[in-house]
Amino acid sequence: MDIGGLETVVANSAYVSARGGGPGGSARDRKHRARLRLPHISQCEALRARLAGGGLQNGVAQQNGGPKQDGGGEEEVSFRWQCVEQPIGKRLFRQFLQATPGLAAAGALWEELEAFECCEEGERSAAAANIRKRFFTEGGAEHCSFLSAAARAPPAGSGTPEDLDPARRELLAHLEGSAWAPYVASPYFGRFAQFKWLEGQAVGADAFADFRVLGKGGFGEVCACQRRATGKMYANKRLNKKRLKKRQGYEAALVEKRILARVHSRFIVSLACAFQTKTDLCLVMTLMNGGDLRYHVYNVDEENPGFPEPRAVFYTAQILLGLEHLHQHRIVYRDLKPENVLLDDAGHVRLSDMGLAVELKEGQSKTRGYAGTPGFMAPEVLRDEEYDMAVDYFTLGVTLYEMLDAKGPFRRRGEKVGGAPRHRGHLWGSYGSLAAAVLHTLAHCSQAKRSDGRRPTRAVTPPPPVPAAACSPPTAACPPSWPRSCFRSFRSAEKGFPHTPQLYFHSAPPGLPRDPRIPPSSPSAAPQRSARSGRR
């Protein structure tokens, strides 16, 4: 009898049964559910007083003895943290605005501004016109007179959320000055204090039931677990203390815990709680059942590895939103790669593994340090130069290339292609205009040309369509898609960077460089791409 196989079947069956959720619960589970009851308001008076003592005045968080959020930076007692960043606090504050006649219009404007950010490009013009009509026009029932004339008169045909940023800033400043004091005295703030009191209660290993191991790493393993009180499934990342001490990984573990406690994004794994046992540090996070991108790139369809362009661009857009959320919190990720991008049940992606991320202090724009994965690190990291958040956009470009071509863009030193050693070879691939423009923008060697450091999508402008005659090779069965492009490889990290990796295009449209080795009259002269394993 295969005992190992039998144990695997039992573990898988228990895991699947837990995900399905069984009816009812044992007496032990009922005991755990009782711990989730909100305390009486009288138990939270001290905490409520500390939380109410904050407020953000003139852009500076006031320190009044309130609790601090892990990671430093913003104080828990600030208006922005309690009413904008905290999901529960934001929901309760908006309920308070809706229930207060004099503040209902401001609350409605806030919701419309956030909805405008999620609009499709074709709908933004109409949505902006609706906002101006409802809230910016004098005499209307929801006219927001507290906005300045400049904020109420954005450029005609506003098509981007940045056009309404002045209105959003003035709105939050108005809410902080006019709504904060009555909100603190309301029952809504008392309920917020109850949730914060419950959030601060200690959680241990006995609150979870562990199931099968989902993966293993250098410091420990990740297993599926279930919260006994609610039945909700999580992923428990258990980091062995002995391994952390031996490999000097304690700082990385604390950085990951601190960063995950700060961020709240659909495109970054969420930290539910953290605790420690005698042997492990445990981070309980969002359960991602879809695996990582590397598995889907190479193993789902081994005969045709890689993703179609629409799928790769879809994942890239979600990764970019996760990166921008980190950058808003002054966090440089530094370790973006397919293995660290996880998929959930619905097929959406989230960033994980923040152990190599670095937090920039207030007023600090650049950092320094060798961190990341070989083959993904930006040139300035390998040169041991100072760098900013643009390094994450370079790793995003490399990740996009690997999603499309099922291999990395940069060859390793001494690698042979076609039986001959090539140190500065070229990798060729066929991409559509959007993917080519994104790659050209993100994977540029120069930080300044790579992105503006805040929103690189502004620089990603898809070039106009190219006539079919300029495509190589055009066929009736496969619609012509330009261009064929190549990355010039980096030399090894030890040798530095004697040249700039450049993305060339055949029949290049305006704004993109054409490969100088290919005559303009011979678009089909592109060399055939050599067969190469997708494994590095």
512 is a domain residue = no
33 is a domain residue = no
Active site residues: 335
Last residue of a domain, one of 199, 232, 248: 199
Residue range of the domain that includes 257: 202-285
pLDDT at 441: 75
- pLDDT tens across 330-375, in order? 999 999 999 999 999 889 999 999 989 999 988 888 888 888 888 8
Task: Round to whole Å and give the CA distance between 107 and 153.
Answer: 20
pLDDT at 182: 94
- 360 and 485 belong to one structural domain: yes
- 70 and 192 belong to one structural domain: yes
- 173 and 78 belong to one structural domain: yes
Helix axis angle for 187-199 and 87-99, nearest 10°, is 170
Task: Round to whole Å and give the CA distance between 231 and 237.
Answer: 18
472 is a domain residue = yes
226 is a domain residue = yes
- 97 and 51 belong to one structural domain: yes
Q: Which two tokens stand for residue 185?
A: 């005295």
CA dihedral 425, 429, 433, 435 (to 10 degrees): -90
- 367 and 475 belong to one structural domain: yes
459 is a domain residue = yes
Q: Which two tokens stand for residue 124?
A: 């933004």
pLDDT at 531: 34
- 359 and 499 belong to one structural domain: yes
Last residue of a domain, one of 165, 199, 233: 199
Last residue of a domain, one of 285, 304, 336: 285
CATH number of the domain bearing residue 130: 1.10.167.10
DSSP 477: S
* pTM, full prediction: 0.71
- Whether cis (ω within 30° of 0) applies to the bond prior to 473 is yes
Phi, psi for 436 (deg, rounded to 5): -65, -40
pLDDT at 526: 33
- 368 and 469 belong to one structural domain: yes
DSSP 367: B
pLDDT at 9: 55
338 is a domain residue = yes
Domains of the chain: total: 3
The answer to whether 36 and 229 have CB atoms below 8 angstroms apart is: yes
Residue 192: closest CA among 66, 64, 104, 33: 66
- 345 and 450 belong to one structural domain: yes
CATH number of the domain bearing residue 268: 3.30.200.20
- 186 and 258 belong to one structural domain: no
- pLDDT tens across 260-292, in order? 998 989 999 999 999 999 999 999 999 999 989
pLDDT at 169: 93
For the chain, 536 residues long, the average pLDDT of each consecutive 10-residue run is 56 60 54 83 91 54 39 63 90 95 93 88 85 86 88 68 86 94 94 91 89 87 91 93 91 92 92 93 93 92 88 91 92 94 93 92 88 87 88 91 85 50 42 70 75 44 35 29 27 29 34 39 34 36
534 is a domain residue = no
- 101 and 233 belong to one structural domain: no
CATH number of the domain bearing residue 500: 1.10.510.10
* DSSP assignment of 28-60: HHHHHHHTTSPPPGGGGHHHHHHHHT--EETTE
pLDDT at 104: 94
pLDDT at 35: 79
179 is a domain residue = yes
- 388 and 495 belong to one structural domain: yes
- 213 and 193 belong to one structural domain: no
- Indicate the average pLDDT of the chain: 74
